[in-house]
Structure 1
Amino acid sequence: MPRTPRLFLLLPALALLAACGQGGQAASGENTVHTVPPPPAAPSTAPPANQGGLDPCTLLTSAERSTAGLTSVGEPKAIGSARTCDWTEPGTFGLAISVDGSKGLTDLRTEKKTAKQIKVGAREALKVADPKADDGTCAVLLGAGESASVQIDVSNTNFTGTEAACARADKVAGLVEPKLP
């Protein structure tokens, strides 16, 4: 085998070694340390402090989503000052979980005729639905500390079945409640 091809294999290595010796470094046997600056920090995805660190899209595990009839991962959104996670089951229902770090349960406005005080676990809550209208919507509002709340909204696609929407909202509220501060 001719020696020329081997020389071509050594040339890149020699060029690399020669480049390392440049830049005013001592040519003696001293050890040199090369420092590489750290990569720029990635933008933080942590929720703002006023929202208690709750990410609405992580309040349900995949097993819990399945229990609630959800087949996909939720889509993060913002509604006003609240962080929201929105799930849509095409042709069936939609579910949204919103975390509002600026309004506690007592700060939320609800119509007296459609809001009912309930307990979810040991937590005070409100259920907002109008069974007489049977519009297929229901919400459960949970306090999450003195100045924060979590809202679970269910809307049936066909705009009927308020009782079924409330059963789903109750189920989801029961799954979320133990994770709240």
Structure 2
Amino acid sequence: MKSRLFALGVLVVLTVSACGQGAAGQAPLPTTEKVVVGGSAAGTVPPAVLDPCALLSPQDRSSAGLNVLGVPKEINGARACDWTVPATFGVTVTVDEKNGLADLEIARKTATKIKVGDRQALKVADKKAADGTCAVLLGMGEKASVQIDVSNTNFTDTTLACERAVTVAGLAEPKLP
């Protein structure tokens, strides 16, 4: 009887100590945390596992006109997700944990400051080129950003590309840390 109680006690201790650690063999999920630099809050640091494909739920994709699943990829060392609607348009969402809005190299004549939710953002489009492309860049603190790039398949109608980019940015923004 004592050996059964001992075994049960060991099982309870092991079970309780494993709480919050995920499935066996998996690392615990990271949390978003505030970082203090020089005595002031520098903003929220995104967790290392922020998945750009998860920034758009099935309902979000439907709202944005994306009837396809996203394909994970990497762009210049940053995690990205690409949705391509055949013969219509494509969207790429890139999570850049090393460059804030001020760090991104952008031709200033193509950038317009906007707000998406409560976040500072830039809408980037070359209206003179009228090439059917547009990007919305969302700031995540001083040293991180999320970039939403839209390209129309026929490379025309930059205004429509920007409408789509702003829509996707608005859907993704509430999910950002």
* TM > 0.5 fold call: yes
Gaps of 5+ in 2: 8-22, 34-44
Task: Look up the match of 2:59.
Answer: 63
Shift of 1:41: 2.6
SS of 1:113's equivalent in the other structure is helix
Shift in alpha-carbon separation, 1:161–1:42, aligned structure 2, 3 A: same
Q: What RMSD in Å do the two structures reach over aligned CA positions?
A: 2.8
Structure 1 counterpart of 2:78, from 82, 88, 94: 82
1:133 corresponds in structure 2 to 129
CA contact (8 A) 1:81 1:102 kept: no
Structure 1 unaligned residues grouped into runs of 5+: 1-30, 34-38
Q: Distance in 2 between matches of 1:40 and 1:107?
A: 39
Aligned length: 152
SS for the counterpart of 2:129 is coil
Deviant stretches of 4+, over 3 Å: 42-46
Match status 1:112 vs 2:108? yes
CA contact (8 A) 1:56 1:83 kept: yes
**Cα displacement (A) at 1:95:** 0.3
CA distance in 2, matches of 1:45, 1:71: 29
Greater RCO, CA 8 A, separation 6+? 2
Partner of 1:143: 139
1:174 equivalent in alignment to 2:170:
yes
**SS of aligned partner of 2:72:** strand
Give SS of 1:178's match: helix
TM, length-normalised to structure 1: 0.73
Aligned-pair identity in percent equals: 59
Matched, 1:164 2:148: no
Structure number having the greater strand percentage? 2
Where does residue 93 of structure 2 map in the other structure? 97
